[in-house]
């Protein structure tokens, strides 16, 4: 389960990120770096983590013209990180797959953010409800040759039926029973996410903000294993 639990280093400074990694040494070996830390020296820290033997999920949610996406993916693949996100737009996904070919980089298509519900999608101009849009983008990710998708655990079972057993189904918005939702709107417990077909769970605040990070991570790992 250590390979399936990804801890989000959603902290503002490298010092705090280093403290999280120290606290979780020997328990967690997979970390997510997103915008907040990336723009505070997190890209170099990602290289350091890879050099130390840890795995890194770079959550950049790329979206741009095909050539720009491709060139970005080529450089990211050279960093040695394990996973990279981009928004699941068909043209961007196809460009990324071509650029990553021959590397071990797992490309993940972000379907619908777990902070968004139907009202948010309507405001953004989409004609689909979250569930329908997630499934449509999962189909497009499969067709593009992506390594996996990112979706709410609410949709994991339906996505798994579409993408089959090999693709990664990565689920953020994981909250242990009793934990606060924060800004997440579509959440699920670790056990339910595993039962629903998620291959990897992304957990940030319930571990990073816990009084005892190590104990919090171990409890989630135990729940995943039991499921």
86 is in an annotated binding site: no
161 is in an annotated binding site: no
What is the signed CA dihedral for 3, 31, 204, 196, rounded to 10 degrees?
-30
Classify 216 as helix, strand or coil.
helix
User: By the 8 A CB rule, do 225 and 27 touch?
Assistant: no
What is the signed CA dihedral for 169, 48, 61, 181, rounded to 10 degrees?
70
64 is in an annotated binding site: yes
59 is in an annotated binding site: yes
3 is in an annotated binding site: no
- Side-chain half-sphere exposure of 32, counting CA atoms within 13 A: 27
36 is in an annotated binding site: no
Of the candidates 61, 71, 209, 225, the residue annotated as catalytic is 61
Classify 48 as helix, strand or coil.
helix
* Alpha-carbon gap, residue 88 to 136, rounded angstroms: 10
93 is in an annotated binding site: no
Can you give the length of the chain in residues?
227
Element containing residue 56 per DSSP (H, E): strand 55-62
Active site residue 91: no
186 is in an annotated binding site: no
66 is in an annotated binding site: yes
Active site residues: 61
User: Which segments are annotated as binding site?
Assistant: 10, 32, 59-68, 114, 175, 184, 205
User: Which segments are annotated as binding site for substrate?
Assistant: 10, 32, 59-68, 114, 175, 184, 205
């Amino acid at each position: 389960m250590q390979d399936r639990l990804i801890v989000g280093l959603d902290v503002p400074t490298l010092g705090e990120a280093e403290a999280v990694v120290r606290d979780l040494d020997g328990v967690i070996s997979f970390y997510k770096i997103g915008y907040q830390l990336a723009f505070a020296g997190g890209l170099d820290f990602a290289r350091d983590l890879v050099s130390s033997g840890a795995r890194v999920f770079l959550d950049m949610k790329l979206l741009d013209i095909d050539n720009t996406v491709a060139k970005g993916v080529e450089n990211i693949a050279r960093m040695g990180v394990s996973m990279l996100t981009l928004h699941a737009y068909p043209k961007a996904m196809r460009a990324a797959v071509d650029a990553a070919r021959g590397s071990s980089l797992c490309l993940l298509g972000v379907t619908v953010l777990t902070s968004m519900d139907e009202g948010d999608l309507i405001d953004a101009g989409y004609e689909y409800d979250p569930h329908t849009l997630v499934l449509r983008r999962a189909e497009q990710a499969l067709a593009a040759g992506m390594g996996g998708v990112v979706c709410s655990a609410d949709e994991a079972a339906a996505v798994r039926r579409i993408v089959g057993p090999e693709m990664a189904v990565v689920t953020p918005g994981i909250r242990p029973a009793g934990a606060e939702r924060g800004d997440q709107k579509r959440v699920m417990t670790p056990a339910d996410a595993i039962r629903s077909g998620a291959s990897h769970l992304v957990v940030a605040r319930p571990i990073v903000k816990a009084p005892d990070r190590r104990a919090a991570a171990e409890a989630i790992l135990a729940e995943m294993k039991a499921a």
